[in-house]
Structure 1
Amino acid sequence: MCILFLFINPRPKVGEYKAIIVNNRDEFYNRPTKPAHFWDDTIVGGMDIEEHCKGGTWLAASKGGKISCLLNVFQPANSFTTGKVSRGFLVVDYLNSCKKGHQYMEEVKNSGKIYNAFNLITLDPEGNSYDVNFYNSESKVIHQIQPGFHGFGNSPLMKPFKKVEKGKTMFQDLVNTYGEKEHEEKLITELFTMMQNKDLNLPDSQLTEQGKGHTEQFVKKLSSIWVSCPDANYGTRTTTVILVDQEDQLVYRERTMQDPANPKNPVWEHNNFTFTIAPADTCKST
């Protein structure tokens, strides 16, 4: 389970942002993870270092300004199967490629590779804004996402969980209030606070439907933006804010639990990166 909120400004003025992103990563507390860092000086993001999917990620950005996020689709308890292709490399392969999001998604769609269900979001620098695409592995439909405010979670695009709808409203209010460069630190602080919201968003028929076979208590706890399920060894481990301003400065702020993650007494690590997007993407493949 993860959640992402996104604002795309189609015509940013001086002092405004092209893109504002905030994401919570929910994962097993004992899954080994590297905090956000630069990989080979071209990609910034956290890294999964669990043995069978080492080198993958859930969210990252390239020096060329491409950004991508992977959201696993919540499935009934008997639907997830092992032995499928790791989903975490979808983000990495996109960022390392010279392909635009829509082209890359077409290749994923037609690759014949078998994954557990996922949603993939890609952002390509386009003029003075971003071109955003969304792909759901079950529907196999690619959606071009229009400028404005959006929320994405662990369900089909047209069937959002209630917490996604609530969070989108909260996100829009914050961006409308603090979404200019002069308020940058306040915006970041407020976004981190928003993503710690523990209010339950119930009843949620879509969450209940996708949660068949899981315990009622576990599904209930998944209904909040900030997830905490210590009994299941699962919850929110990392929050990330990404801002891209009108002058192509990218700010990447991460707040993450240090390994070994202890939800009852967590030690929080803060990782901050700022760079100017390169004029051309330093892609590694064609």
Structure 2
Amino acid sequence: MCLLLLAINQHPDYPLIFCGNRDEFYDRPAADAHYWGEDGQLFGGRDLEKGGTWLGLTRSGRFAAVTNVREAAAGTASATESRGKIVTGFLCSTVSGADYSRQLLKKNALYQGYNAVFGVENELYYASNRANESGKLPDGIHVLSNASLNTPWPKTEQLKTSITALLKDNRQPVDRWLEAIFDSLRDDRPYPDEILPETGVDLEWERRLSPIFIKGEKYGTRASTIVLMNRSRKFRFLEQTYGPFGQKKTRTDKQIFRRNPER
């Protein structure tokens, strides 16, 4: 993924709210969200090039997502493992979030720059091989793009502002509220040059990558995803996929029925 937000214990009905966008080249093959994995317990999209995923959850309540860290190519030459395997590595295991974060820090050199969030239900952890840090996420609203956790880029700050306002307005019907979250994820406004981050790519790419939602011919936002966990610990997974120039493709709305919960 390239942009995500986590709201932990910030809504009276949903202890965990996740939303985010996956930006990628359109010619990179991927499967839409479905059940897969050895035991069919993992639900999420799948990268058909490397075999991992950018976001997934399981019937036992495990959740994980990863973003890349935007950096000059020279800093990534020694990496050999796909970052998508960070997500599947947690989802397909029984290791705790705390232990997994420690395991990842021992394998930092194997991956290009990454940020990962993972855990069981709303007890989530963060790890990064560029920030060289890990730990449990406190209650609150956390945003993550292609830099370290809660870095105040224009689009992360805008998404946080939009979702914070929606969290305060919790009286409207849930489906209308969810569409408002999707609308926030479709914000395609670019930001002025003077407030753009300097991440090692040229200015033209910084401009193209600055909006929350990226429209392009060869590269852009391919999916917007929302994950909710209610007070009964039941998950709801919603996803809208897109083609070039932001053309809508498929919509997924799936209840994840729990089996063998870990908490």
Query: TM-score normalised to the size of structure 1?
Result: 0.84
Q: CA deviation at 1:28?
A: 0.6
Aligned residue in 1 for 2:209: 222
Cα deviation per residue 1:151-175 (whole Å; 9 max; x = unaligned)?
Answer: 1111022533221011101111112
Inter-partner Cα distance in structure 2 for 1:135 and 1:194: 26
Are 2:88 and 1:96 aligned? no
Aligned residue in 1 for 2:185: 195
Are 2:133 and 1:141 aligned? yes
Inter-partner Cα distance in structure 2 for 1:248 and 1:264: 37
Inter-partner Cα distance in structure 2 for 1:204 and 1:242: 34
Aligned residue in 2 for 1:177: 169
Are 2:232 and 1:250 aligned? no
RMSD: 2.3
Cα deviation per residue 1:104-158 (whole Å; 9 max; x = unaligned)?
Answer: 0111111365110000001323xxxx21211111232103211121211110225
Q: CA deviation at 1:196?
A: 0.5
Q: How does 1:41-190 map to 2 (within 5 A)?
A: 41-50=40-49, 53-54=50-51, 56-81=52-77, 84-111=80-107, 113-125=109-121, 130-157=122-149, 159-178=151-170, 183-190=173-180
> Please, which runs of 5 or more residues in structure 1 have no aligned partner?
none
Cα deviation per residue 1:55-90 (whole Å; 9 max; x = unaligned)?
Answer: x00011111111111000111254343762111011
Structure 1 residues 188 and 112: CA distance shift in structure 2, 3 A: closer
Inter-partner Cα distance in structure 1 for 2:67 and 2:223: 14
Are 2:233 and 1:236 aligned? no
Cα deviation per residue 1:207-264 (whole Å; 9 max; x = unaligned)?
Answer: 22x1x2x33222112111001232xx2110001110100012210011113xxx4x14
Query: TM-score normalised to the size of structure 2?
Result: 0.91
Report the count of equivalent residues: 261
Secondary structure class of the residue paired with 1:189: helix
Q: CA deviation at 1:31?
A: 0.4
Inter-partner Cα distance in structure 2 for 1:206 and 1:123: 32
> Please, which runs of 5 or more residues in structure 2 have no aligned partner?
none
Inter-partner Cα distance in structure 1 for 2:5 and 2:106: 28
AA at the equivalent of 2:61: G
AA at the equivalent of 1:186: R
Inter-partner Cα distance in structure 1 for 2:83 and 2:29: 16
